[in-house]
Amino acid sequence: MTVSRGATAVPAALVVVDCEHALLIGANAGARRKLGYSKPVRSPVPLDAAMPALQTLRRLAATSTLAGSAELTFWAPNAVLRWHCRYERTSRRAARFTLKILPEVDMGDAGATTAAPSGVGPAQVSLQAIARLAHELRAPVSAIFSAADVMAEGHLGAVEDERYHGYIVGIRDTARHLLGVVETMLRNPESAIENDANGPAKADVCAVVAEVAHGLGALADTAGIILTVDLAPRALVIVAERTALRQMIYNLLSNALRHAGPGALVTARTGRTTHGEIWLEIEDDGPGIPDAIVERTMQAGIPSDCGTGAGLGLPLTRKLAETAGACLSLISDASGTRARLTFLKATGPKAGVPKIGGKGRTAC
């Protein structure tokens, strides 16, 4: 049996698994290559019972559905494999499934245009390159998420140290967010900068800031930085694309943690202006950002020479803020840096927001 990919026919990869007993019953040559097995499967091979694919199949086995399709994640010796599979249950009594692994689109033949997204400078990567990058990132990020999820849920034993458990939960939540970004990039490379495929929805800014800060707790500890949050007492709800909102907060907070230096204090705050506009800000007492980088960050497009200093995090955050109808204000001097995102009530061209003191720039 073969399936075609463009003009080339390739053998279908077939796997037979017993999800109840966590066993690999059989695999043809195509599937063995994907799974990293060099020899034929002549007797059942034990699998990790916590493997996400087996967990999904167990849930399917509990239903009356005998066939269908699903996205399944397998753990191979040196990789995490995420496949779209056609599944067929061999009998109603046995939790045994035959899986046909559907061929993935070769990102080199994806037909992605090489035109850059609107507002992106000519030095930026093409959409095809973004798609290729996302394809390469998916497996390692899936591996991080899957491993962290297993540890956080205690599938192989509880993590007794509460601090370590907190780190693990933070890693899992961050990896889940990155997987969402990667999947969005694969579906539509331009949306990696422009928007979220899931669309706008209500989001509590305080909750998202707390979630991101928790996920970066280990990074702060490793860097010798004190990370605190000062959140408004009540929920601050906006309508936004959650992935983009989380990405903006992550960019600003991780940027502060990378550059503030050992012994610094980084604080994430939320609040509301006297005009009712919701804001969040990240402040640190580090050495500050050079004026030249602050200036380039606020210019149109995404600078091509941000490989040092503040990196691409600030320009991308500015771009995401524009798409979200928000303003990014950045103030930096020798006493530290303060970055504020203000979500405006009005739509259309932004008139700007008041400066928050000191020398800085506002981009709306």
Whose tokens are 């996400």? That residue is 52
Regarding whether 185 and 52 lie in a shared domain, the answer is: no
Task: Confirm whether 170 is domain-assigned.
Answer: yes
Task: Confirm whether 200 is domain-assigned.
Answer: no
CA–CA separation, 90 and 98 (whole Å): 7
Q: 269: alpha, beta or left, given left = phi > 0 and alpha = psi -120 to 50? A: beta
Q: Can you list the residues of the chain whose pLDDT is less than 70? A: 1-11, 77-79, 93, 103-133, 135-136, 139, 184-199, 296-313, 345-364
Regarding whether 163 and 267 lie in a shared domain, the answer is: no
User: Nearest 10 degrees: CA dihedral of 351, 343, 247, 148?
Assistant: 170
Regarding whether 308 and 231 lie in a shared domain, the answer is: yes
pLDDT at 282: 95
Sign of CA dihedral 22, 28, 34, 35: positive
CA–CA separation, 266 and 289 (whole Å): 15
Residue that finishes a domain, picked among 83, 104, 125: 104
Give the up-direction half-sphere exposure of residue 101: CA atoms within 13 A in the CB hemisphere.
Answer: 26
Residues 250, 82, 243: CA angle, nearest 5 degrees: 25
> How far, CA to CA in Å, does 280 sit from each of 87, 259, 276, 328?
46, 19, 13, 10
Regarding whether 333 and 223 lie in a shared domain, the answer is: yes
Regarding whether 181 and 97 lie in a shared domain, the answer is: no
Task: Confirm whether 206 is domain-assigned.
Answer: no
Domain of residue 54 covers 2-104
Regarding whether 313 and 174 lie in a shared domain, the answer is: no
Task: Confirm whether 209 is domain-assigned.
Answer: no
- Of 159, 280, 273, 279, the closest CA to residue 213 belongs to 280
- Of 273, 282, 277, 158, the closest CA to residue 220 belongs to 282
23-27, strands of its sheet edge to edge? 45-46, 23-27, 13-18, 96-101, 79-89, 67-76
φ, ψ for residue 124, nearest 5 deg: -80, 160
Task: Confirm whether 210 is domain-assigned.
Answer: no
pLDDT at 131: 63
Task: Confirm whether 208 is domain-assigned.
Answer: no
Name the H helices within 153-301.
Answer: 162-187, 191-194, 205-215, 217-223, 242-259, 291-297
pLDDT at 125: 45
pLDDT at 3: 39
CA–CA separation, 16 and 34 (whole Å): 14
Regarding whether 40 and 58 lie in a shared domain, the answer is: yes
pLDDT at 348: 36
DSSP SS3 for 142: helix
Regarding whether 45 and 166 lie in a shared domain, the answer is: no
Here the CATH number for the domain that contains residue 32 is 3.30.450.20
Q: Give the pLDDT confidence of 318-345 residue by residue, as tens digits.
A: 888 888 889 998 888 888 999 999 998 6
Regarding whether 80 and 114 lie in a shared domain, the answer is: no
Regarding whether 116 and 100 lie in a shared domain, the answer is: no
Strand 13-18 and strand 96-101: the pairing is antiparallel
Per the structure, how many domains does the chain have? 3
